[in-house]
Amino acid sequence: MTTHRRYSFDMKRDSGHEEVLRILLRNCEGYWWFNEPEVSGQEYGILAFSFTASGRDQWFVHRRAMDLAMRCFQSIGVPVQQIPDPVWEPLAPHNNRGYRVPR
């Protein structure tokens, strides 16, 4: 069954919001497994971003999400050791299995 999760990351940072949004948008447009990117917190000196990740199981989704988050943080100069732990919430599985439901 396909797994869907909403991942969120945040850290104290005054800059990098535009770069992170650019990376998230590019990945959401290029890959079906990333959706709904959001970046916020600039007015409070916080870099907060979130996105939805999908995959065949929870481990595959987590690997994809952490890879995208690592690319975002590294693009703004955050070392791997300082990447914050993610917060995620499971989402309901979709019911579109690629076939038409008879009416």
Give 11-37 pLDDT, tens digit per residue: 999 999 999 999 999 999 999 999 999
One-letter amino acid identity for 86? Answer: P
Residue 72 CB burial class (10 angstroms; 0-12, 13-18, ≥19): buried
Instruction: Give the whole-number percent of the chain exceeding pLDDT 70.
Output: 88
Question: 3-91 architecture in CATH?
Answer: 2-Layer Sandwich (3.30)
Can you list the residues of the chain whose pLDDT is less than 50? 99, 101
> What gap in Å lies between CA 70 and CA 79, rounded to an integer?
9
Phi, psi of 93 (to 5 degrees): -70, 150
For residue 90, the model assigns a pLDDT of 87
Residues 87 and 65 sit within 8 Å (Cβ to Cβ):
no
Listing DSSP states for 67-94 in one string gives HHHHHHHHHTT--GGGPPPPEEEEEPPP
